[in-house]
Structure formats: structure tokens, C-alpha cells
Structure 1
Amino acid sequence: MEVIAIQKSALDRMNNELKALLQLTKNAMGKYILIFKAEKWLDNQEICLMMNITKRTLQTYKDKGLLSYSKLNRKNYYKLSDVQALLEAGHPYNTNDNGSTDE
């Protein structure tokens, strides 16, 4: 085990900087917390499993505007209510064995 000795003032400064960073993170997350608490959001994998579709079919739904999504940190999220509405309407496209879609 390695022991490092630093001055108490340096430790206090680091502690204060970490607290400030934590507060900045909480402030940045604050505007998203209410959005995610208001409704259940699902990612690509959860949608594909729920709808029993491939990632390519999911991309087609997005490209055709059939399923809206929001992007957060380069990851797509979908409202559960939008997915349920699409399921209730029936799958607009079916995926062939080769991965292409029929209209």
C-alpha cells in the first residue's frame, strides 16, 4: 500500500472543488429529471424486444416518422406511450427474413 501525504489545505481545496463539481452535475441533470420522471422512457434494445423487431426495422420506423424519439448523450430514447400507440395501431411494416421491410 502506498501512502501519500498532502497538506490539509490542499485536501480541503480538492474537497471543495469536488463538491462544486457535484453541484454542477446536479444542476445539469435537474432539467432532465422531471422529463424522465413524468413518463417511462425506453432505449433501442428495450423497444426491439418489446415490439419483437430488428434494429433495422426500428430505424425504418424512425426514418418514416412513425416513432418519435429523443437523443441524450448519443443514445435514443422513446416514450412508452408512443410505443404503445404504435403497437395498438399494428406494425406498419413487417420485416422479411432478409432484413428488408414490406409496406
Structure 2
Amino acid sequence: MEVIAIQKSALEGMKNELKALLELTENATRKYMPIFKEEKWLDNQEVCLMMNITKRTLQTYKDKGLLPYSKLNRKNYYKLSDVQALLGAGRPYNTIGNASTDK
């Protein structure tokens, strides 16, 4: 085990910097908390598993405007209610062209 000795003032300075960083992080995330607390949000993988579709099919749904999404830090998120609404609609489009899957 290695022991490193530093001055108490240096340790206090590091503590203060860490506290300031924590406060900045909390302030930055505070404005997004109401959005995430109002409704459950799902990522790509969760939506694909829930709908039993591939990532490509999910991309098609997004491209055609069938499934709204929000982007945060280069990652897509979907409202659970939007996914459930699309599931309730019975996936109105297949992935080949715009042909309807309902007969």
C-alpha cells in the first residue's frame, strides 16, 4: 500500500472543488428532472424489446414520423405512452415502403 502525504490546505482545496463540481452537476440536471418524473422514458433497446422489432424498424418508425422521440446527449428517448399508442395502433406500416399491414 502506498501512502501519499499532502498539505491540509491542499486537501481542503480539493474538497471545496469537488463540492462546487457536485453543485454544478446538480444544478445542471435539476432543470431536466421534471421532464423525466412526469413520464417514463425508454431508450432504443427498451423500445425494440417492448415492441419486438429491430433497430432498423425503429429507425423506419422514426423516419416516417410514427414514433416521436427526444434526443439528449446524442441518445434517443421515447415516451412510454407514445410507444404504447403505436403498439395499440397495431404498427400501421411495415418496413418495406408505405404498405399497410392491416387488411
TM-score after normalising by structure 1: 0.90
1:24 and 1:70 mapped to 2: Cα distance? 24
- Which residue of the partner structure matches residue 67 of structure 1? 67
Give the fraction of aligned pairs with identical amino acids, expressed as a percent.
83
User: What whole-Å deviation, never above 9, does each CA across 1:18-53 have from its counterpart, x for those lacking one?
Assistant: 000000000000011111110000010110111111
User: What whole-Å deviation, never above 9, does each CA across 1:28-83 have from its counterpart, x for those lacking one?
Assistant: 00011111110000010110111111110100010111111111111110000111
Aligned residue type for 2:87: L
For these two proteins, the number of residue pairs brought into alignment is: 98
1:49 and 1:13 mapped to 2: Cα distance? 47
Let me know the Cα RMSD of the aligned residues.
1.0
Deviation at 1:91, TM superposition (A): 0.4
TM-score after normalising by structure 2: 0.90
Gaps of 5+ in 2: none
1:29 and 1:40 mapped to 2: Cα distance? 17
SS of match in other structure, 1:94:
coil
Deviation at 1:94, TM superposition (A): 2.8
Deviation at 1:93, TM superposition (A): 2.2
Within 5 Å, which residues of 2 pair with 1:1-103? 1-95=1-95, 101-102=96-97, 103=99
Gaps of 5+ in 1: 96-100
2:92 and 2:40 mapped to 1: Cα distance? 23
2:25 and 2:5 mapped to 1: Cα distance? 29
2:41 and 2:65 mapped to 1: Cα distance? 18
User: Structure 1 segments of 4 or more deviating over 3 A?
Assistant: none
1:38 and 1:8 mapped to 2: Cα distance? 45
User: What whole-Å deviation, never above 9, does each CA across 1:2-33 have from its counterpart, x for those lacking one?
Assistant: 11110000000000000000000000000111
